[in-house]
Amino acid sequence: MADFTALRIKPQRFKADFETLAAIGSTEDGGVDRPSLSEAHLAARAWFRQRAARDGLTVAVDSAGNHSAVLPAVALDTPHLLLGSHLDSVPHGGRFDGALGVAAALEVLSTIKDAGLQLPISLEAIDFTDEEGTLVGLLGSAALVGRLTPGEIQSPRGGRQSLLAGLQRAALSEEGLFLARRDPASLAGYIELHIEQGPRLARSQTPVGVVTAIVGIASYRLIFHGRANHAGTTPMNERHDAGLGAASFMLAAHRLVVESFPDCTVNTGLLQLEPGAYNIIPGQANLALEFRSADDKEFEQLENALLALARQQADQFGLEFEANFLNRHAPAPMSVSMQQAIGQAAHCLELGYQAMPSGAGHDGQNLAHVCPAGMIFIPSQDGISHSPREFSAWQDCINGANLLLQSALAFTFEHYRP
Ligand code: GLV
Ligand code: MN
Ligand code: MN
């Protein structure tokens, strides 16, 4: 076998791809707005197909809309090592989240193809559908590993109508989502390059992170039912103000996590008061609740504690309370063999690295159920993400792409000798 450790990606081609993607759905403040299955997202996917075909990669789109570019092995029916991320963004997000990993995966395949390196397994660059959860969250990867549940698409985080409209725009169907499952034996593994989205690597001036585990994430729609009434004539001590229940819960949930679950996070990212007028006491408050933990047991304790707290706050303001479960992605440890391959490749590239958990959700937490999964992080300037201000230095992006390349090769030759 030729010495593959000297192989490097082509930075100019990689940068051109990254910049082309950044222009699709770009916003004036330097970010991108490409919610899942929006016109801008579909345009980014059209670019993916054309980019992959340009370099002679085989393009495939599955019934969940996952987009793949394949560099096939010579032998038939070999398993696929997946390298990927996502081209959708949060509303008014940044240019790096997801797009970096997809551009890097394509670049890795093109680099290996250009070098004429024959691999014992096929390599597949993949762009997963709806990673960000503007519709469901980790949708394409859940479909691919066979973990999508009917409940998740009946009451998705982003609303049922948005999901149906998105599927229609992309010429996908609900039934199709359940037909995208792949046989685990066809999956050799999964590696994703991503920005850290937090401040740790930048603060410690470490070029790369090797992810040890991905946090579990659960979401609920909480509804506080009060009584709409006149804002001026109802005495202050006789109100059933649904907004107060929600607001009080938001503060109490923050305090609970800081004081009792210091390794966890909670977020209440969307609050709607109904009917919603200056002169009406809110009769109903709908609150989007999301919480995260990297530990299974603590995840469950946190869930129980938050729901009990919401009920208690509702009682305090004389409100009825409803908690509608939306979805849950379990915490997922990354495979030891993948962490070793990434560590070995980082050593070979002379990149200092740090082992770290991911506080953000990623498709790897679904893939981890069926094959060895691993992730590489690069520093995020000031730890900012899900914002147009998201930024990573270009040299860090190049380091990450080379590490993705070398990790894929190290894993392949360690586990599938030609
Ligand atoms: C995805 O980026 C998430 O962690 O919400
Ligand atoms: Mn992402
Ligand atoms: Mn994201």
User: For the chain, what's the residue count?
Assistant: 418
pLDDT at 9 over 70: yes
Q: What's the rounded Cα separation, in Å, for the pair 370 and 119?
A: 22
- What is the number of the ligand 1 atom nearest to the C-alpha of 385? 2
Q: Per-residue pLDDT tens for 191-247?
A: 999 999 999 999 999 999 999 999 999 999 999 999 999 999 999 999 999 999 999
Q: Given pLDDT bands bounded at 50, 70 and 90, which one contains residue 1?
A: low
- What is the number of the ligand 1 atom nearest to the C-alpha of 97? 2
Q: Given pLDDT bands bounded at 50, 70 and 90, which one contains residue 163?
A: very high
Among 36, 194, 270, 386, the mutation site with the greatest number of ligand 1 atoms within 8 A of its Cβ is 386
Q: What's the rounded Cα separation, in Å, for the pair 391 and 382?
A: 8
Domain extent listing, the chain:
11-214+332-415, 216-329
CB 171 within 8 A of CB 46: no
Amino acid (1-letter code) at residue 203: R
275 half-sphere exposure, CB direction, 13 A CA radius: 9
Q: What Rg, from alpha-carbon coordinates, does the chain have?
A: 23
pLDDT at 56 over 90: yes
- Integer angstrom CA distances of residue 298 from 56, 217, 221: 47, 12, 21
Ligand 3 centroid–CA 96 distance in Å is 9
Ligand 2 centroid–CA 21 distance in Å is 15
- Of the candidates 8, 330, 394, 372, the one whose C-alpha atom is nearest the C-alpha of residue 190 is 372
pLDDT at 417: 78
Among 88, 215, 270, 362, the mutation site with the greatest number of ligand 1 atoms within 8 A of its Cβ is 362
Q: Does the C-beta of 290 come closer than 6 Å to ligand 1?
A: no
pLDDT at 2 over 80: no
Q: Given pLDDT bands bounded at 50, 70 and 90, which one contains residue 3?
A: confident
Q: What is the average per-residue pLDDT within 135-157?
A: 96
Q: Given pLDDT bands bounded at 50, 70 and 90, which one contains residue 165?
A: very high
- Of the candidates 86, 109, 103, 78, the one whose C-alpha atom is nearest the C-alpha of residue 187 is 78
Q: Does the C-beta of 360 come closer than 6 Å to ligand 1?
A: yes
pLDDT at 155 over 60: yes
Percentage above 90 pLDDT, the chain: 98
- pTM value is 0.92
Three-class HEC string of 238-287: HCCCHHHHHHHHHHHHHHHHHHHCCCCEEEEEEEEEECCCCCEECCEEEE
CATH number of 216-329: 3.30.70.360
Q: Per-residue pLDDT tens for 72-85?
A: 999 989 999 999 99
CATH of 11-214+332-415, one of 3.30.70.1150, 3.40.50.2300, 3.40.630.10, 3.40.50.300: 3.40.630.10
pLDDT at 317: 98
Main-chain dihedrals φ then ψ at residue 7, nearest 5 degrees = -70, 135
